[in-house]
Structures are given as structure tokens and as C-alpha cells.
Chain A
Amino acid sequence: MIRVQEQDFDPGSELELLRDHCAGRAGAVVSFTGLVRDLNEGDDIAQLTLEHYPGMTEKALAQIEAHAIEHWNLVAAAIIHRIGPLAPNDRIVFVAAASAHRKDAFSACEYMIDSLKTEAPFWKQEVTPGGKRWVTAVDEPISS
């Protein structure tokens, strides 16, 4: 399940949806929720705005999810990413993996959030006391 949305999400409800979908086939669900921090590179962050590439974003997330499902034999997976203006402590991203055994769910969850950070076309712009600035990527470059 892939969603790109402006509105907030409820991790508890999302985990319930995933559990319902598993219908007894999964023994483990691992999830990751990413939050907006109030500090980056020593500066206070008042607001964050997420830009993305509509169409390509969904395509990239679907590829990441499909790879995780296939590689770790997941029963179900979910990726939710927010766009638009966000404030410190807001939820920004949610990734979850359900599998028969916990090890696959942990590995798949880590893979999905790590891949999303380098492959999915999202860009963060921060509002600091010094003005707006684009966040610079520190991760490995996007692959072909």
C-alpha cells in the first residue's frame, strides 16, 4: 500500500489495517515512523516543506515496496509519505512490513526507509531564523 498525502496519518490505524490484511498469515509487523526534528545543522527549524515529483514519486515507492515484498517474502507492506508544509514533531513518513517471522519484517522495514531516502523524489525545504534553505543530500546518490 502506497500513499502520498498532505494530511496526517495515524500509525495505530495503519497498523490495524495491515494486521487485518494479513488475516493470520503474518507473525510479525515492524514499522518505522519518521518525525520532523526542530533542529538541523545547528539551526532551529520552524517549518519544513516537502516538494515531490507527482507520478514519479508513486512509481518509485511502488518499486521499493514491490522489491521488499518479493525479497523478504512479506505478507503485506505499507509506505506513507507526507508532502506540503510540516512543523516540528509532525509525522512525515511511515513504513511497515508484515512477514511470517520477525527477521524478515525488520530487514524489509529498514530496506524500505533507507531506499526511500535515496530513491524517491522528495525534497525538503526548511524555514530557519536565517530564512528558507533546501536540505542537502548526504546519502549515497540516487541509482540508475
Chain B
Amino acid sequence: MVRLRFFASLRETLGTGDEQVELPGDITDISALTAWLQARNDRWHAALDNTRVRIAVNQTIVKPGHPVRDGDEVAWFPPVTGG
């Protein structure tokens, strides 16, 4: 299982903040995982089809193509606005 996290405007748009999914065998990196989620429907496609969306694996920001493995926690979120 992989834990998926979504925050802020992405969480609201997608209607979910936290879910567990079984990782399909052919998905080995976050770019493929993102594309797989985008195939859910148009809303998912549009929300994640944005170069400003950040992706973190196990709570560290990563670049496109970063590997993803069973047991990982992967998060998608907009640019941060704290401080």
C-alpha cells in the first residue's frame, strides 16, 4: 500500500486529503503514479496537470521521476504560503 496525501487547494479540489492505494505493479516512480491518478477523471487530470504542484515522498520534496515503493507516503500540494 501507498499512502496518498493532498493539501490545501488540491485537497479541496480533489475532495480527499488522505487515502491508501495498492500500487499497480508497473508504477515505479512518482510521475507514473501522478499520471495514474490523473486517469481517474477530468477533475483529477486538471488538478494534477500543473507544473506548480509539488510532490513529496516520505515528507521530502522530490523531483519528477523520483522512485516510489510500497509503504511510501506521497504528497501533492501547491506552493507553500506560510510565514
Contact B82 A120 (CB under 8 A): yes
Stretch of B21-29, B31-39, B41-49, B59-67 that contacts chain A: B59-67
- Identify the A interface with B (CB < 8 A): 34, 50-53, 55-56, 59, 81, 92-93, 113, 116-125, 134-137, 139, 141-144
* B residues lining the A interface (CB < 8 Å): 5, 7-9, 52, 54, 56, 59-63, 75, 77-83
SS class of chain A's interface: helix, strand, loop or mixed?
A: mixed
Which A residue's beta carbon lies closest to that of B51? A141
Neighbour of A141 across the interface among B56, B62, B79, CB < 8 A: B79
* Cα–Cα, bound, A15→B77 (Å): 34
With A51-B7, A53-B7, A142-B54 as given contacts, are A120 and B80 in contact (CB-CB < 8 Å)? Answer: yes
Contacts of A143 in B (CB 8 A): 61
Partner of B8, one of A59, A117, A123: A123
Q: A53-B56, A81-B82, A123-B9 are in contact. List 12 more A-B contacts (CB 8 A).
A: A51-B8, A59-B60, A93-B83, A117-B83, A120-B83, A121-B80, A123-B8, A134-B8, A134-B9, A136-B81, A137-B80, A143-B61
* Whole-angstrom distance between the Cβ of A65 and the nearest chain B Cβ: 14
Which 4 pairs from chain A and chain B are nearest by CB? A122-B82, A137-B79, A123-B8, A56-B59
B61 lies within 8 A of A50 (CB): no
Q: Which residues of B contact A93 (CB under 8 A)?
A: 82-83
* Chain A residues whose CB sits within 8 angstroms of the CB of B60 once the complex forms: 56, 59
Instruction: Name the one of B59, B63, B75, B78 contacting A134, with C-beta atoms under 8 angstroms.
Output: B78
Chain A residues within an 8 Å CB radius of B77: 53, 121, 123
